Structure 1
């Protein structure tokens, strides 16, 4: 049975079945088909076939120019992580051939049993402050585990050489492209130039390359229902090989504040402080975290500029005004947080 909520134009189940048969996966009819909801533009569908459960991930029906390449990269990283202790969704098989399913690549992964803490907390988490506190350390431990993976099997994936040197020019250049949008008055971001200059002056001289998630924050983690453990790190769209300490900076830049404020993430009462998160990562990792504030500032800088792009598009009538206003306010908050780290 196919759920009425699924757009059948998105998934060609006949082609999918033929492809799965060619992969040696269990055959039979598709059962218990349904959407996997979440904050992603990609299409995710859960189903069972031959007694096994799967989640299929593919680009949207109206993909962006790089959508297929993004999915190929995700699948390649998940394949590299499949036999490691990293809490990543377990890849079953990937189809990099765009001709199999309507000009879209796709991959199959095992379903993740877990919940998004920024949406709500089940029991026992909601009623146990110790579990909630431990969730923050488990998020940090999962990140440290990712930072230990040997990236050398991912030849040609990312450009770790000059990674840190490229960051400020790359994102200042991105900001300049928004000027082409009619109606955008320009980046009214207090502290923009000051932050860029500080990052250039204080840039670490070297780093050890590794696999980066690229968007590591609380909303991209699924926690186990029975305790504080991270069941899976999800949404690998921005993964690359670069400096994994930027993932730590990203976590700090977006970490909910003790007063209930947060950057893109909901408030979860009782989490560790940002200082405790840094101390936990330092204890678990061989990486030098002495410049962690620099990475947190870079994360605020980069994420703020990314979000400002939606504000610019909203000024040009290409995105909802309320969303643009909200994300511009978040950009200003991120740059204010950058100043506190500086």
Structure 2
């Protein structure tokens, strides 16, 4: 076995002998880990795909510069993936997890079964690239996948305690304004996002009545979905660290916050799917949800504005970390640009 097949130049934060010893103790194969390679994903946690004993694994661990909450978020994700095992929600199968940071030295981690799928943020299969009909149905399949969450009773699968649904909507604006204010400790001026207070005031004044709580993904968008290579089917929803019990309409608002406008050949994430054209419009996504779901969409614009507000502040955190040397300047600029676009969308929705 060559060094390249065992450990590539882009592998950081992964002590392979330590992972092998832990896998031995967990009964997950034997012998050396090989063919280690990074897997694209979010902007924070690190993922690697590798093989051991002829079986494929995906390892997910915290970021290169772990935050105080990184380990807790990964433990939460493990809990969610275990609970989803027997549900109809498409997700990666959890194979095992190490809930203490001692093995890697700075992060907990878990192992998942690899998903045979395409992330339409960064790629399309030949079939998807060639067929506008498949691309259109992919958008509708996204809504269908989202609705599988609302069909799950969190209490029945042991997830009733992962959130605080009482007062969920009331807490949102203050919670995210506080998050934005916390960035000042890293040298952020707080003046980089125009109209934050205007959006916050509108959200407080137009907040809808509390709805029945349900399971939320918390970061539901195209980048966290895997599609079957030969069809429009969603085979996995990934990145569950923000999962909670709250108002599921915020997940729909989150999806719409970054989706391409009707006729546009780009979305707020620069996805390959949007760039290929022919995708379902926001109105078609909403109609699909209305036809198959059970929730009233009377106040959907409020959820869309909240999603823009919340996601914009989350992404601004990466920009702030880039200013502190904890993320690349290029990534920081990209996230800040998306934040500004999200707040522009929010302002258009409240006019």
- TM-score, normalising length: structure 1: 0.89
Q: Match of 2:200? A: 196
CA distance in structure 2 between the aligned counterparts of 1:322 and 1:93, rounded to whole angstroms: 34
Q: Match of 1:338? A: 346
Give the secondary structure class of the aligned counterpart of 2:130: coil
Q: State the 1:312 CA deviation.
A: 4.8
- 1:141 counterpart (140, 144, 150): 144
Residues 106-125 of structure 1: pairs in structure 2 closer than 5 A: 106-125=109-128
- 1:273 counterpart (281, 287, 297): 281
Query: In 2, are the aligned partners of 1:157 and 1:240 still within 8 Å (CA)?
Result: yes
CA distance in structure 2 between the aligned counterparts of 1:7 and 1:332, rounded to whole angstroms: 31
CA distance in structure 2 between the aligned counterparts of 1:108 and 1:339, rounded to whole angstroms: 41
Q: Match of 2:215? A: 211
CA distance in structure 1 between the aligned counterparts of 2:75 and 2:111, rounded to whole angstroms: 12
Q: Match of 1:263? A: 268
- 1:36 counterpart (23, 34, 39): 39
Q: Is 1:131 aligned to 2:139, yes or no? A: no
Q: State the 1:133 CA deviation.
A: 0.2
- 1:161 counterpart (162, 166, 172): 166
Unpaired runs of 5+ residues, structure 2, are none
Partner deviation per Cα, 1:25-75 (whole Å, 9 max, x = no partner): 343443433332334432322223334321121224542222211111111
CA distance in structure 2 between the aligned counterparts of 1:316 and 1:14, rounded to whole angstroms: 32
Q: Is 1:290 aligned to 2:293, yes or no? A: no
Query: In 2, are the aligned partners of 1:40 and 1:235 still within 8 Å (CA)?
Result: no
**Comparing 65-74 with 7-16, which one deviates more in the overlay?**
7-16
CA distance in structure 2 between the aligned counterparts of 1:305 and 1:34, rounded to whole angstroms: 31
Give the secondary structure class of the aligned counterpart of 1:54: strand
Partner deviation per Cα, 1:225-273 (whole Å, 9 max, x = no partner): 1111112112223222222211110000010223224212423411111
Residues 27-106 of structure 1: pairs in structure 2 closer than 5 A: 27-106=30-109
CA distance in structure 2 between the aligned counterparts of 1:59 and 1:311, rounded to whole angstroms: 18
Equivalenced residue count is 341
Q: State the 1:308 CA deviation.
A: 3.3
Query: In 1, are the aligned partners of 2:213 and 2:247 still within 8 Å (CA)?
Result: yes
Q: CA RMSD in A?
A: 2.5
- TM-score, normalising length: structure 2: 0.87
CA distance in structure 1 between the aligned counterparts of 2:251 and 2:63, rounded to whole angstroms: 26
CA distance in structure 2 between the aligned counterparts of 1:40 and 1:324, rounded to whole angstroms: 10
